[in-house]
Structure 1
Amino acid sequence: MSTDNKTDEQDVNTTYAADNEQTADNQEDVAAQDTQAEASPEASELEKARVQAEENYQRLLRVQADFDNFRRRARAEKEDFAKYASLKLIEQLLPIVDNFDRALASSKETKDFDALAKGLDMTYRGMDQLLTAEGLKPIEAVGQPFNPEFHQAVMQVESDEHEEGIVVEELQKGYILKDKVIRPAMVKVSV
């Protein structure tokens, strides 16, 4: 072979090698671009997920703070309600207390016990009306069959006029507030 052929062959090989290297470089560049293109959507999706997670976390913190504030407010309202629950009843009792004060002051000045008894009776009726309006009722006891839900037997007595298990005497009045027994009547029961 001639030197010219060898040179041509070398040139062709060099050109072929250079083309192969360039093709390989191009393929690597294309692969890198493909990888970046493939990684880029994954990276952007990952970044979107991180942003969404941060937003959710911040929203959670706000909701927790709102809930803590709600609990604090509800507790304070409940304490205020319990503290002032009897306010309405107390306001209604004040005129009765005023009547007691007037009756006591008048009885000390005049020593008129009939007027005192009359004043106390009027005051008692005012108190009774107020308590009845609030739903308080006395428990009927004397002459009724003994009922442990409404009566508390403290004594048993023999009685010729009552059959067994009948309340013969009331020692302390019992009361029902609306539908609940707040104090059973203390009674004597026949045997």
Structure 2
Amino acid sequence: MSDEEFQNEANQNEQENAEAQENAADEQNAASPIEALEAENAKLKDRLLRAVAEMENLRKRTERDVKDARSYAMANFARDMLTATDNLSRALLTMSDEAKAEADGAFKSLIEGVEMTEREMHRLLEKNGITKLEPKGEKFDPNFHQAMFEIPNNDVADGTVMEVVQAGYVIGERVLRPAMVGVAKGGPKVAPVPNGEATAAPSEGENVDRSV
């Protein structure tokens, strides 16, 4: 091979190598923008999902706050209503069944009017989410009951509500007024609950403040 042919072949190889390097560089430069766009797209998608999740949490919190405001804003007024309802109940309890049965004329109408008013008061309370607590025979729950005294009784478990001195009320899931009760003393030391667990009997006067 002559020097000229050798030089031509060397030049051709050099040109081919340069073209190969250029093509490789072009391919790399072409791939980099795609990868960059894909990475940016992934970041934007993640931000969007986070924003959507935050908005959904905010919506739920707002709905809960509005619901709580509607449910518990009337708590003070409801307590005043309970006082009036209690007075109506006490007025009816002062009359014996015989006196009610023998009543006639205006006195009978008065009794019926008081009874109707009491029923209507309870209906309005329930309509506004205020529920009466009647825990007689149930296990004492310091979240909803206030123990006023103990009643010796060996036939039932300690802490069983034996007597309700004053009915309690809840508004929504919160205690508006705890039920004042008398609890059994002298029976088994723990009272069974529906799920099979056991709860210690309360101490005298035990109660917890969960009122609104």
Structure label with greater radius of gyration: 1
**Higher RCO (CA 8 Å, separation ≥ 6 residues):** 2
Report the TM-score range of the alignment, normalised by the length of the smaller protein.
0.3 to 0.5
Q: TM-score, normalised by structure 2?
A: 0.38
Q: TM-score, normalised by structure 1?
A: 0.41
